[in-house]
């Protein structure tokens, strides 16, 4: 059996965000970087937020057509007051920053559980809280929460991550109900395993937790439940975000756009 290839060439959704400001958290790498670039390519002025100053600098220093469209904001999202403030005045908010720790519940450090919930659930709440007054004032806004298959399904050894993502799904739906009369949509995007540093970093942990060699982790753990046997690329996730920001998605709210290669079809 051969692994299917990701799509090649340009299949970009038509999207014009000229005059709009978009904030993307976790923009220094992986999915966040791809989202920041995609929204900038659509004409948005992008506020790129991350705690990784070096990664943000590399993004903001891009030359070519996107030069000057990405503004770096170095921020650790555990500073919740700062998170709320940085979101003020944005038209599009992409809650993307995330962390992972793979450990059985009885060995999971409580302080890490707390940090995961803070970065991946409480900070999105505060960012939404900071963004809504401007969105409501102008009668338009787009909130996209990068959830996961783990917002809909659990996996062993990921208690904090699964709890945070399930919580994010609930937050997103509640914001959709409150935002609808103000022209604000709120949705989740739910990828299976994406080719990013977050996944590469967990391979050793997964091998240890499952008691198998690292080279068997991708096929036997990560892709076990996916009918399409490949990792998804960050740009494919960014394209789903672009779709949700466009006028064609104005009726799409309070839902989850699942990009899981058939995982949840089981």
Binding positions for ligand NAD, rule: CB under 6 A: 26, 28-32, 50-52, 55, 76-78, 96-99, 119, 146, 148, 191, 193-194, 196-199
Q: For residue 125, what are the contacts with CB-CB under 8 A and spacing of at least 6?
A: 171
Q: Would you say 182 or 229 has its CB closer to ligand NAD?
A: 229
Closest approach, Cβ 199 to ligand NAD, in A, equals 4
Q: Would you say 3 or 248 has its CB closer to ligand NAD?
A: 3
Catalytic status, residue 243:
no
Closest approach, Cβ 71 to ligand NAD, in A, equals 15
Closest approach, Cβ 79 to ligand NAD, in A, equals 8
Q: Which of 157, 161, 193, 243 is catalytic?
A: 161
Q: Would you say 71 or 182 has its CB closer to ligand NAD?
A: 71
**Nearest Cα residue to 87 out of 145, 24, 165, 174:** 24
Q: Would you say 183 or 264 has its CB closer to ligand NAD?
A: 264
Closest approach, Cβ 2 to ligand NAD, in A, equals 22
Kindly list the catalytic residues.
161
């Amino acid at each position: 059996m051969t692994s299917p290839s990701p799509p090649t060439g340009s299949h970009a959704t038509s999207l014009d965000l000229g005059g709009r400001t978009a904030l993307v958290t976790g923009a220094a790498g992986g999915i966040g970087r791809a989202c920041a670039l995609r929204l900038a390519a659509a004409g948005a002025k992008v506020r790129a937020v991350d705690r990784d100053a070096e990664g943000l600098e590399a993004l903001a220093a891009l030359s070519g057509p996107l030069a000057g469209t990405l503004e770096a904001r170095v921020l650790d999202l555990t500073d919740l007051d700062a998170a709320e403030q940085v979101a003020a005045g944005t038209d599009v908010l992409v809650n993307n920053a995330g962390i992972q720790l793979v450990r059985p519940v009885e060995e999971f450090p409580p302080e890490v559980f707390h940090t995961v919930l803070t970065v991946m659930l409480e900070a999105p709440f505060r960012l939404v809280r900071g963004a809504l007054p401007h969105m409501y004032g102008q009668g338009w806004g787009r909130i996209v929460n990068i959830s996961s298959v783990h917002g809909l399904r659990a996996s062993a050894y990921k208690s904090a991550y699964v709890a945070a993502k399930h919580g994010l799904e609930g937050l997103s739906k509640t914001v959709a109900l409150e935002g609808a009369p103000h022209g604000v949509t709120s949705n989740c995007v739910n990828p299976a395993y994406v080719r990013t540093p977050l996944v590469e970093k967990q391979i050793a942990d997964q091998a240890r937790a499952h008691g198998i060699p690292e080279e068997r982790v991708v096929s036997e753990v990560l892709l076990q439940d996916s009918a399409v046997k490949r990792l998804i690329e960050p740009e494919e996730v960014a394209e789903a975000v672009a779709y949700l920001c466009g006028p064609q998605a104005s009726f799409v709210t309070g839902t989850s756009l699942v990009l899981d290669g058939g995982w949840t079809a089981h």
